[in-house]
Amino acid sequence: MANLIRSSSGSNSEAEYLSRLRGGISFPITPKGVTGLNARPALKRDRGLRFLLSSMNWFVYILHSVSLCRYYVGMTQNVRRRTKQHLYGNSFWTRRADDWNQVFCSRAMSIDQARQLELTIKKRGAEKFLSDRQSVKNPDKA
């Protein structure tokens, strides 16, 4: 612990001090040049990370609550984890009920496609969107 204390003589550089403080783990430098334990890179400026996020599979899903008679439309990369968050009250809008059931899930190839599909469903209304899909699948029942 004594070697983590910064010497008053200034013989240790700031980078060496922060490296020892973090246990030798190097953290990325933010665009403003600030380093430290809480420093994070700006995601908007990191093209590599944006490419990874945009190229991963995204899912658009619709949840239905019988007790509220309401639908919830969302998008995520991990449907199972996100559904559990809704069920356990970790989401503001869906914590009003605990009987959410997934009634629709669709895979999108990019985050842009997922956002577009989510917006389309929200503009149309989840119930109308689902009934339109059902009538397309079974035209004789429409």
At CA 24, angle to CA 21 and CA 30, rounded to 5? 80
Q: 34 or 20: which carries more pLDDT confidence?
A: 20
75 and 98 in a single domain? The answer is yes
What 120-128 contacts at long range (C-beta under 8 Å, 24+ apart), as own/partner pairs, is 121/60, 121/62, 121/73, 122/73, 125/71, 126/62, 126/64, 126/71, 126/72, 126/73, 127/71
Cα 136 from chain centroid (whole Å) = 31
How many CB atoms are located within 10 Å of the residue 61 CB? Answer: 20
What is the residue range of 28's domain? 6-46
pTM score, whole prediction: 0.60
Does residue 30 form part of some domain? yes
Number of independent structural domains in the chain: 2
Instruction: Decide if 114 contacts 73 (C-beta within 8 A).
Output: no
Using the predicted structure, report yes or no on whether residue 138 has a pLDDT greater than 90.
no
The per-residue pLDDT for 136 is: 79
Q: Are 20 and 61 contained in the same domain?
A: no
Confidence tier at 7 by pLDDT (50, 70, 90): very low
- Are 42 and 68 in the same domain? no
Query: Per the domain annotation, does 1 fall within a domain?
Result: no
